[in-house]
Every structure is written in structure tokens, then in C-alpha cells.
Copies of this chain bind each other. A is one copy, B any other.
């Protein structure tokens, strides 16, 4: 929303996202960000006073992204199948960039988070799960998906396949994610 107002602030945010997905929250410092953007440590603190503020902004950014995605999918009248393909493609892109999804990254770090961040993460997860659940349910109704589980359970199966799929691919190689992707699609193919 207001994210594009300030250039440096946006750059910090985007770099923060990248660093979390590539190295984890604990593994990067404000000094890393400052170095990469050719600004000083204190400039990062100017935009995000504490590291917790940056984390919060990153999670909020993803909530915004998925809300935007949901709206766009509605407007463009994408079929449930197309919606799901697009969603899965996001994970394939993560694999190519040697990243893991923020939800997985957040989970690994969950026990170290301040309450405010935990709450935002829960908000994000609930939103994303809800989004996929609606897509799966719609696809079942129009006959393009078939599964015997509830849409909610099928969503959890699919999401865990994707999230841990990118994690596994980091260790064992990209082709494992491709196999998982194909298997997921078979699982719900009508």
C-alpha cells in the first residue's frame, strides 16, 4: 500500500525479505543491509527502529501481496486450476532463487519472536490457508479438482508439500521439487 512511497525504505524491506528467505532472520544484521545498500547502519534504524519492526513490516508486506493476489484473481476471472498453478509457481520460483517461503522461515524462528510478530505471522498463515482452501473448494465444485478430504485438510496437505518441498529441494536438489509438484497435481486432478 504505502510501501512504494520511500525508495530506501522499500529497498530495505525487499532486501530484508530476501535475506530472511535465503539465510533466516537471525542470520542477517542491519550492518549487512547497510553494506548492501551503501547506507549507514543508523539509516536502517531510521526507517525500522528495531529489527522487530522490520520483521513486522515484512510479514505485513506478504499479507498485502496475497490480498492483492486474491483481488487480482477475482477480477481476471482466473479458473481455480489457473489460480492454483499460479500459486504453485511462486514456490517453484523460490526453489530457483534458493529461497524458502517466509512461512517456513518464520516457523523455524517462531520461538524467538516477540508476541506482535507471532500474531502477524498467524494472521498471514490463516489468510494464505484460507485463500488456497477457497480455490480448492471452488475447483471441486466446478469439477476441475477431485479429492475426498475436506477442502481445509486438502489445503494443509498441499501447503505442507509445497513449503517443505522447497526446503527439501534446497538440500537434495531442484528436481525433487518438480516431482513433488507433479505429484501434488495428480493428487487433486479430477
B residues less than 8 Å from A118 (CB atoms): 171
Does A8 reach chain B (CB closer than 8 Å)?
Answer: no
Q: Are B107 and A149 in contact (CB under 8 A)?
A: no
Number of A interface residues at 8 Å Cβ cutoff, please give it. Answer: 50
Count of identical protomers in the assembly: 2
Q: How far in angstroms is the closest Cβ of chain B from A12?
A: 20
Pairs of residues from A and B, 7 with the lowest C-beta to C-beta distance, nearest first: A160-B164, A107-B167, A108-B108, A26-B26, A164-B164, A163-B164, A160-B161
A positions within 8 Å CB-CB of B: 22-24, 26-27, 98, 100, 103-112, 118, 121-122, 125-126, 129, 148-149, 152-154, 156-157, 159-165, 167-168, 170-172, 176, 179-180, 182-184, 186-187
Q: Which residues of B contact A112 (CB under 8 A)?
A: 23-24, 27
Q: Which residues of B contact A165 (CB under 8 A)?
A: 156, 160
Given contacts A153-B182, A157-B184, 10 further A-B contacts (CB under 8 A): A22-B111, A24-B24, A103-B167, A108-B108, A118-B171, A154-B183, A160-B162, A160-B164, A161-B164, A163-B167
